[in-house]
Chains A and B, each alone.
Chain A
């Protein structure tokens, strides 16, 4: 299984707010920056959040990130059907000397 733990799936209605959690330990999330990626069906991952809470240019402010201790959270407000995708968290693991990802969360917008 993945080093970082995410809920496998979530669902919410259009217009609502959803949060996706990502849990790790002191070797990864606890001492390194977290990034988030969105993967629409059949496409490559897309850069969504970096350094825990920063948005790359072009990413709407409906997407936000936060980190506390050994956990991180991705928030999405004003859900749209186009937000239906798999979302992954990632960070460096200092003990493994490797990049680690969460198992991914499939978001369904009902």
Chain B
């Protein structure tokens, strides 16, 4: 079945870096845009970034622009999020999500992973 599994979360000090991964299975990964969405404790959903199916186009939320980098390895069906210069306000559950339409980078999101928790604290 279609599945997304995030990993790489943990506790990190402010200013440090962390790399998240999202392993995809059950669909042709290379034909779908992929997103990261986060949710701070007790808060709503916040979109983070998207990468197009082929990796040539990326968009970021203003809150992470210049600090986070989204990437993908279509040969390994894996999506990544490199997070640098982390701040306390980046503390959240990070979900990867699959675009519903193939060859289309925007939403909607039909498949979500279970998420991985990132805590930024000294």
Contact = CB atoms under 8 A, between A and B. Distances in A.
Interface string B37-51: 100000011110010
A-side interface mostly: strand
Contacts of A51: 108
Chain A interface bracket (under 10, 10 to 19, 20 to 34, 35 or more): 20 to 34
Interface residues of B, number: 23
The residue in B59, B95, B108, B112 that gathers the most chain A C-beta atoms within 10 A of its C-beta is B108
Interface of B: 35, 37, 44-47, 50, 59-62, 95, 100, 106-115
What are the 9 closest A-B residue pairs judged by CB atoms, nearest first?
A35-B108, A99-B47, A104-B44, A44-B112, A50-B108, A101-B45, A92-B106, A47-B110, A103-B44
Interface of A: 2, 32-33, 35, 37, 39, 43-47, 50-51, 56, 86, 88, 90-92, 96-104
